[in-house]
Amino acid sequence: MGSTADKGILKKLTKNGELSGLLNVALTGLERLRQNQDFTYAASPDEVAELYLKASDPVYAFLTEMCVIKPEHWTSKANLYEAYKSFSLAHKLPTIGKEAFGRALKNSVIASGISPDRRRIQGELTYGWRGVGLADLEEEPEYAEDFDDDDLLF
């Protein structure tokens, strides 16, 4: 119960003004029981935890709903961030800047295999993320090559 529990709740709920509301809730539940021929249950603890994570962490929601997390995937930082912004705006979630997105991405509970990476695409150095791809888009072009520091000319 705890110290904040309302010890007079039973008296409050059994007042004439509250009894009709309580009866309406009970009748709604009885109708649902008759229709389903069984009791309905709220979401499982795992489902509740997943909903909480998605609601409290827009980057997590984006990764779970819009991305494929596999070691062989690669997406440019610009494309991934733009997809994140579009997702956040469409779902009325707060957005964060590019650098904060990168930090949140690296620290996400499901992103342990995601790491920053560089590749040459059509001769240009492109920064991206290894281990993540966008689920609704094709992967980056096949001509993307892994980039080594030895390829830099100073």
Cα→Cα distances 143→13, 94, 101, 120, 139, Å: 69, 35, 27, 8, 11
Q: How far apart are CA 129 and CA 124, in angstroms?
A: 16
pLDDT in tens, 85-129: 999 999 888 899 999 999 999 888 788 889 999 999 999 999 999
Give the H/E segment covering residue 130: strand 124-134
- Please give the chain's pLDDT, 154 residues, in tens: 566 778 887 777 777 777 777 788 888 888 988 988 887 777 788 888 888 888 888 999 999 999 999 999 999 999 999 999 999 999 888 899 999 999 999 888 788 889 999 999 999 999 999 999 999 754 443 333 444 444 433 3
116 beta partners: 129
pTM of the model: 0.61
Q: Is 44 helix (H, G, I), strand (E, B) or coil?
A: coil
Question: Domains in the chain, start-ordered, CATH in brackets?
Answer: 1-40 (no CATH), 45-151 (1.10.10.10)
CB of 76 within 8 A of CB of 134?
A: no
Q: Which amino acid is at 35?
A: Q
